[in-house]
Amino acid sequence: MLQLPENRRAPITPQLAMRVAVLGAIALAMFAIIFFRLWYLQVLSGDQYLAEANDNRVRDVVVAAPRGDVLDREGTLLVDNRVSIAVQMETAKLPEEGPDRAALFRRLGAVVGVSPRFIDREVREQTKVLPYANVTVRQDVPPAVYSYLFERQNEFPGVTVQRIYLRSYPHQELAAQLFGTVGEISPEDQRLSRFRGVKQGTIVGKGGLEYVYDRYLRGTPGATRVQVDALGRQKGELALREPVQGSQLKLSLSLSLQRAGQAAMAEAGGIPITDGVKNRGGAFVALDPRNGEVLAMGSYPTFDPNIFSKPLRQSTFDRLNSKETGAPLIDRTIQGLYPTGSTFKLVTATAALETGLISPDTPVSDPGSIQIGDIVFKNAKGTAYGTIAMRDALKFSSDVYFYRLGQQADSLNGPDRMAIQTWARRLGLGQRTGIDLPGEAEGLIPTPEWRNELFRRKLTDRPWSVGDNVNLSVGQGDLQATPLQLAVAYATVINGGRVVAPHLGLRVEDASGRLLQKIESRTERRVKISEETRSAILDGLERAATEPGGTSADVFAGFPRPVMGKTGTAERAGQEDQSWYVAYAPDDKRPILVVTTVEQGGFGAAAAAPAARLILSEWFGAEKKLVRGTSATR
């Protein structure tokens, strides 16, 4: 019998064979996966990953686009750009407050030439004003600083160097309130439909014309592609995609007239008054009454908008908004709400004539004063003008004449009830004019319903009375209107009922001046004014400026053009009287309507009318001289 050796192994069991087969299959599958993955990466996707590898050593530095230029009606440059290199900080990438941040500020301060304390203050103040924007540490740095910081980015975390375009205003204070400001788009801005699709970091209009016409003025950003090493240090510049400048905007403004207007307001606003105050606030508007084109418009005091080209401290911004400095940031032409004094008599005259309350030749007695209820209303200086009709009432600016109209209008019923208020709104007061500027105030035309509601809510001490309508008839009481609204009201009567839409924008052009788009103004509306009414009012205004005894005849004596004008003296609680004047100079080709007002300027002929003459002199090329009227005219 054959006997097997004791050390001979037993044959593999079926179970073990199965396990070996499974393990082998798994190993083979894994090797196959690795093989096909390598084949996919190297053969099929090689070009893609090669491109990504190349991208790892390049960076795109966004280059902001210059905004479009702004020109006057003759093509003279009003706003352009200049290039600046700025050192900025991305606050989200800065080290936490502590030793690391302090050390960073010390290193950066030594490079850009400012103290660490200054950098820390700028970070805090600018973040408080614009928490979403980069903090600008210094602008206009030399190219050497740019290169130094770019090559040592690992030593300066959160620090970036950008080539930026800053807005430049070669005429400095001229039309400062109109242009507005620009800044980096905010998250709030991006939610607005006008900024839909605009990327973060883009410079957009924040106010004024820059905001209204941003879509034209905003250009297309470019990029600089640079090569960097593994540490992010710049090794060279590979390519540049040039930014595309925005389109240029041509305005209806005349630079020479704008300059003359601001000079006139500065002269009128600097006249000493009883308490020694100088540099009083004021505003002027000059427009073409045929179509609403704004020829000049300005607010006083003004400021140099170039200060907004660099980071603005909160203290500087507060000073520009302060009453002590005259709040130069406020555009008094569209935001200054005032009683208009006797310039409002055009509205009262139109309402009285159109409702049939009187005719142009209806005689009215003016003994110098009139008692209504318990109050005696008087003319300026108590002057009596005797029996007069509409034309002479406007010539002499008889308050008593218009007091009577206000009293009578208060008692009207039916469709003519509140005739003065109705016509004030028809002529454009108490509502926005629709000018292409943001922030326009609405104004107020007082009515019985308005005052009675205030009385019901205990916000005033009395309900409506006839005295309120009497005050309104001469532009006093609770009336609030802007200089631009008053200009629209006068233009409407001049046009025979066509209410113009004032506007500054004329056309959008490319860099060579070719028309891209004509800017259409808001649709005009019409009100029915008879030629008899229009003729009587304009005749009275012409007498006021040209005939002896007229309220502004002294101011316009010797002026080479026919002028129609109306003075206004508005009483304001706690202040000297406010001076107003409206002048219209007809011309076949270049008619012009001018409104001027000087806060605490006294009688209309004392400050506002001389300023209006200076503006008209510039427009017609007449001799420029300041001629003041008498203090007895309102």
Taking a C-beta distance cutoff of 8 angstroms, is the pair 184, 410 a contact? Answer: no
pLDDT tens sequence across 268-324: 866 444 444 445 899 999 999 999 999 999 999 999 888 887 766 777 777 887 887
For position 472, what pLDDT does the model report?
A: 97
pLDDT exceeds cutoff 50 at 553: yes
Cα angle value 596/601/607 (rounded, 5°): 55
Q: Judge residue 180's burial from the number of C-beta atoms within 10 Å of its C-beta, 0-12 exposed, 13-18 middle, 19 or more buried.
A: buried
Under the banding of pLDDT at 50, 70 and 90, the label for residue 234 is low
- Per DSSP, the residues of 22-35 read HHHHHHHHHHHHHH
Phi-psi region of 506 (alpha: psi -120 to 50; beta: other; left: phi over 0): alpha
Sign of the CA dihedral with 410 first, then 412, 416, and 417 last: positive
SS (H, E, C) 309-332: HCCCCHHHHHHHCCHHHCCCCCCH
Taking a C-beta distance cutoff of 8 angstroms, is the pair 376, 399 a contact? Answer: no
- Average pLDDT of 371-385? 91
pLDDT exceeds cutoff 70 at 458: yes
pLDDT exceeds cutoff 80 at 483: yes
Token pair for residue 357? 């309350």
For position 185, what pLDDT does the model report?
A: 81
Secondary structure (3-state) at 47: helix
Sign of the CA dihedral with 44 first, then 46, 47, and 53 last: positive
Report the C-alpha gap between 182 and 435 in whole angstroms.
20
For position 44, what pLDDT does the model report?
A: 56
For position 523, what pLDDT does the model report?
A: 73
Least confident of 20-24, 110-114, 193-197, 348-352: 20-24
pLDDT tens sequence across 9-34: 556 677 777 777 777 778 887 877 88
Under the banding of pLDDT at 50, 70 and 90, the label for residue 541 is very high
pLDDT exceeds cutoff 90 at 230: no
- Average pLDDT of 396-421? 93
Report the C-alpha gap between 595 and 284 in whole angstroms.
6
Secondary structure (3-state) at 598: strand
Cα angle value 582/587/589 (rounded, 5°): 125
Task: Please name the helix (run of DSSP H) or strand (run of DSSP E) that holds residue 59, with its range, or none.
Answer: strand 58-63
For the chain, what is the largest distance between any 2 Cα atoms, rounded to a whole number of angstroms?
Answer: 164
pLDDT exceeds cutoff 50 at 556: yes
Token pair for residue 560? 């080479």
- Average pLDDT of 146-150? 83
pTM of the model: 0.82
pLDDT exceeds cutoff 70 at 144: yes
Report the C-alpha gap between 164 and 44 in whole angstroms.
43
Per cent of the chain over pLDDT 90 is 54
Interhelix angle 531-546/345-354, rounded to 10 degrees, is 150
For position 453, what pLDDT does the model report?
A: 96
Average pLDDT taken over every residue of the chain? 86
For position 484, what pLDDT does the model report?
A: 98
For position 228, what pLDDT does the model report?
A: 60
Least confident of 185-194, 351-360, 507-516, 601-610: 185-194
pLDDT tens sequence across 85-135: 888 888 778 888 888 888 888 888 888 888 888 888 888 877 776 665 678
Under the banding of pLDDT at 50, 70 and 90, the label for residue 150 is confident
Taking a C-beta distance cutoff of 8 angstroms, is the pair 205, 105 a contact? Answer: no
For position 236, what pLDDT does the model report?
A: 57
Q: Return the domain boundaries, the chain.
A: 59-149+160-251, 255-620
Q: Which residues, including other chains, have CB under 8 Å from residue 597's CB and lie 6 or more apart?
A: 282, 283, 284, 332, 336, 338, 483, 568, 578, 579, 580, 581, 608
Quick count: other Cβ atoms within 10 Å of Cβ 438?
Answer: 16
- Average pLDDT of 392-414? 94
Fold exhibited by the domain 255-620: Beta-lactamase (3.40.710)
- Average pLDDT of 337-359? 97
**Cα–Cα nearest to 292, from 441, 484, 480:** 484
How large is the C-alpha radius of gyration of the chain? 36
Report the C-alpha gap between 220 and 212 in whole angstroms.
18
Least confident of 140-149, 392-401, 582-591: 140-149
Token pair for residue 599? 């806060």
**Cα–Cα nearest to 427, from 548, 340, 325, 527:** 527
Sign of the CA dihedral with 376 first, then 382, 385, and 391 last: negative
**Cα–Cα nearest to 179, from 505, 429, 475:** 505
Which amino acid belongs to residue 282?
G
| Same CATH fold assignment for domains 59-149+160-251 and 255-620 | no
Secondary structure (3-state) at 271: coil
Secondary structure (3-state) at 7: coil
For position 274, what pLDDT does the model report?
A: 42
Least confident of 71-85, 351-365, 614-628: 614-628
For position 527, what pLDDT does the model report?
A: 96
Report the C-alpha gap between 464 and 478 in whole angstroms.
11
pLDDT tens sequence across 584-627: 999 999 999 999 999 999 999 999 999 999 999 999 987 666 66
Report the C-alpha gap between 578 and 604 in whole angstroms.
8
For position 276, what pLDDT does the model report?
A: 43
Fold exhibited by the domain 59-149+160-251: Penicillin-binding protein 2a (Domain 2) (3.90.1310)
**Cα–Cα nearest to 326, from 278, 273, 398:** 278
Taking a C-beta distance cutoff of 8 angstroms, is the pair 230, 224 a contact? Answer: no
